[in-house]
């Protein structure tokens, strides 16, 4: 029997049939609440620790994995192999450069559902991970290469009935530093720059952000016009993707959200941008990026020091100062940055 809430969702879908209209947005609910309303209608709640479930997914073989934020969708075909996850640990990685490459922050994960829906050639299966606020952060889709017997065994092992599904709150706490005014003195700017240059690992930049309680863009503005951070036009992302596609050098594309970051490493084959349409696509045979270019508010070329010298990235942000996507040139530890990538990124500075 359909819940009254799900009936309302279906009616909303009928009343607003435009393909870009989301049911959850119309009903002012989280995507997890929308999924929860469908329990018993092809949806099951998975009562499993996220670390355990990800470990189980290694048995299903090749899948389509999707990580998203509000403005970007990162799709990779790969396998849940080479997991470096500690039981009860706060973070972990699934390390398959060139395939499925994930950074995971387990304290941000909240709920997991499985979905079965009709397809043209039979049932379609997927698993959907949500954060503690009910926002979708990661998906795993069963494809032709997936071991469906192993997939269904995992679902059966952890599926629970409706009474076991928890209440989901869509209340959004303050997840990022406030946009307080940050107007450092000349002395403080010099101190920030000194600390920035003293780094020997790009991950140390997070400590700098936490020290001053600011967003990335606020630090960039503080040292702008230096060789560390230079603002560029918001067309830079398209330009850089098109140039790397033409030259076929390997790049890295990071799409983050609160719970995970998914990374692509390889060469882009196609870049598609339809006139008067906000979503662009960059892809190759095993990867696809969709991104709303209208959401881009700031774009920066930044340089951070490592033990192997400076590395350069393009960082793209929305109006809240939240990172949409970040691009690097591919390199292995112990190697210098690609000269080709450095030339491509530096060419954006002349805009």
Domains 4-90+109-164 and 186-271+293-350 share a fold: yes
Alpha helices by DSSP H, listed for 229-319, are: 236-247
pTM of the model: 0.89
Query: Over pLDDT 70: what percentage of the chain?
Result: 85
Q: Which CATH architecture has domain 186-271+293-350?
A: 3-Layer(aba) Sandwich (3.40)
Domain ranges of the chain: 4-90+109-164, 186-271+293-350
pLDDT tens digit sequence for 234-251: 999 999 999 999 999 999
pLDDT tens digit sequence for 95-144: 999 999 999 999 999 999 999 999 998 999 999 999 988 999 999 999 99
Asked if residue 37 has pLDDT above 50, the reply is yes
What value does the CA radius of gyration of the chain take, rounded to a whole number of Å? 21
Other beta carbons within 10 Å of 151: 22
pLDDT tens digit sequence for 51-90: 999 999 999 999 999 999 999 999 999 999 999 998 888 9
Other beta carbons within 10 Å of 82: 14
CATH topology of domain 4-90+109-164: Heme iron utilization protein-like fold (3.40.1570)
3-state SS, one letter per residue, for 157-218: HHEECHHHCCCCCCCCCCCCCCCCCCCCCHHHHHHHHHHHHHCCCHHHHHHHHHHHCCCHHH
Q: Residue 214 has which token pair?
A: 């600011």
Asked if residue 17 has pLDDT above 80, the reply is no
pLDDT at 2: 40
């Amino acid at each position: 029997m359909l819940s009254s809430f799900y009936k309302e969702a279906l009616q909303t879908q009928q009343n607003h049939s435009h393909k870009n209209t989301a049911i959850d947005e119309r009903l002012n609910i989280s995507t997890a609440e929308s999924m929860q309303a469908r329990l018993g209608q092809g949806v099951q709640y998975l009562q499993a620790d996220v670390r355990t479930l990800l470990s189980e997914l290694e048995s299903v073989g090749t899948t389509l994995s999707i990580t998203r934020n509000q403005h970007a969708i990162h799709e990779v075909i790969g396998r849940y192999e080479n997991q470096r996850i500690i039981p009860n640990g706060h973070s972990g990685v699934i390390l398959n450069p060139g395939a499925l490459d994930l950074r995971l922050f387990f304290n941000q994960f909240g709920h997991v559902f499985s979905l079965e829906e009709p397809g043209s050639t039979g049932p379609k299966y997927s698993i959907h991970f949500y954060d503690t606020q009910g926002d979708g952060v990661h998906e795993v889709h069963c494809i032709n290469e997936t071991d469906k017997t192993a997939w269904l065994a995992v679902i059966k092992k952890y599926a629970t009935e409706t009474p076991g599904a928890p209440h989901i709150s869509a209340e959004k706490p303050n997840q990022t530093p406030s946009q307080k005014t940050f107007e450092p003195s000349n002395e403080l700017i010099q101190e920030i720059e000194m600390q920035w240059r003293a780094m020997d690992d790009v991950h140390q930049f997070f400590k700098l952000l936490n020290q001053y309680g600011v967003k990335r863009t606020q630090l960039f503005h503080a040292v702008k016009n230096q060789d560390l951070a230079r603002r560029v036009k918001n067309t830079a992302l398209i330009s850089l993707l098109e140039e790397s596609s033409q030259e076929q050098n390997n790049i890295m594309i990071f799409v983050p959200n609160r719970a995970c970051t998914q990374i692509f490493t390889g060469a882009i084959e196609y870049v598609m941008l339809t006139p008067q349409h906000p979503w662009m696509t960059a892809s190759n045979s095993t990867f696809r990026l969709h991104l709303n270019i209208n959401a881009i508010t700031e774009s920066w070329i930044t340089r951070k020091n490592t033990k192997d010298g400076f590395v350069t990235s393009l960082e793209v942000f929305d109006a809240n100062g939240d990172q949409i996507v970040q691009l690097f040139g591919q390199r292995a530890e112990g190697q210098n940055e690609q000269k080709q990538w450095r030339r491509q990124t530096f060419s954006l500075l002349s805009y």
